[in-house]
A and B are shown apart, each in its own frame.
Chain A
């Protein structure tokens, strides 16, 4: 089975801190995604990547950046955390470069609280 691993299940940070959320997948997938999940809003796409060193903005990229130096790892960076970035963050991966009908495999999420 594909495994998508997010480095932390719970994270508490202070306003203004730089925050790194790490995600690793073990199935050689081309595509990787970062979503945030908020009650009543569902999942919203922050950034995605179809290849190493490649990134594309999703629907809500403001306040975030990403890094993909290796195929298996996709990092989400909050340059200066703010309280409105308190949320559940979900990483996902899928096979195929740019494929749009492929199944996404999700990590179990990181609940980030910014105080």
Chain B
């Protein structure tokens, strides 16, 4: 079975501070990994994806994520948070099953 675990359902950072959202996965085959973002009252949109090329993946809006096989992790980071980054973030993977499995989500709050 494949699974995704997101540590921390809520994360709060100050504007300008580092954003770190954690994601760990389990898959018996090399996974494809994704981060999606959901702004209020909207559907999800893709931030970035890892498909076995470079382990450091750059996405939209200044976000990036690093695939670490040894740690089975795919954490999302952004050097400097902006108020507009406030949203819910979902980590997801496709692995053994030909379908996308999502984590439970992390709500990011950005304060002044």
Interchain CB contact under 8 A, B44 and A100: no
The 7 closest A-B pairs by CB, nearest first: A106-B43, A100-B94, A42-B104, A43-B102, A101-B32, A106-B44, A42-B102
Between A and B, 20 residue pairs with Cβ closer than 8 Å are A33-B100, A35-B102, A40-B104, A42-B6, A42-B102, A42-B103, A42-B104, A43-B90, A44-B102, A45-B99, A45-B101, A100-B32, A100-B94, A100-B98, A103-B34, A106-B43, A106-B45, A108-B41, A108-B43, A109-B43
Q: Is B9 an interface position by the 8 A CB rule?
A: yes
Residue of B nearest to A100 (CB): B94
Which residues 63-112 of B have a CB within 8 angstroms of A? Answer: 90, 92, 94, 98-105
> Beyond A45-B100, A90-B44: 15 further Cβ-contacts under 8 Å?
A4-B43, A33-B100, A40-B104, A42-B102, A43-B92, A43-B102, A58-B99, A92-B44, A100-B94, A101-B32, A103-B46, A104-B36, A104-B44, A106-B44, A106-B45
Q: A48 to B98, alpha carbons, bound, how many Å?
A: 11
**B51 an interface residue at 8 Å Cβ cutoff?**
yes
Contact between B98 and A98 (Cβ–Cβ < 8 Å)? yes
Chain B: interface secondary structure?
strand
Residues of A within 8 A of B43 (CB): 4, 90, 92, 106-109
- Interface residues of chain B, those whose CB is within 8 Å of chain A, are 6, 9, 32, 34, 36, 41-46, 49, 51, 90, 92, 94, 98-105
Check B105 against A42 for contact (C-beta < 8 Å): yes
A41 at the interface (CB under 8 A from B): yes
Smallest CB gap from A42: residue in B: B104
Contact check: which of B41, B45, B49, B103 meets A101 at CB < 8 Å? Answer: B49
Residue of A nearest to B33 (CB): A101
Cα A58 to Cα B6 in complex, Å, equals 21
Assess whether B9 is in contact with A103, with CB atoms less than 8 Å apart. Answer: no
Report Cα–Cα, A56/B6, bound state, in Å: 27
Contact with B along A88-115 (1 / 0, CB 8 A): 0010100000101101101111000000
Question: Which residues of chain A have C-beta atoms less than 8 A from B45's C-beta?
Answer: 106
- Determine the distance from Cα of A35 to Cα of B51 in the docked complex, in whole angstroms: 23
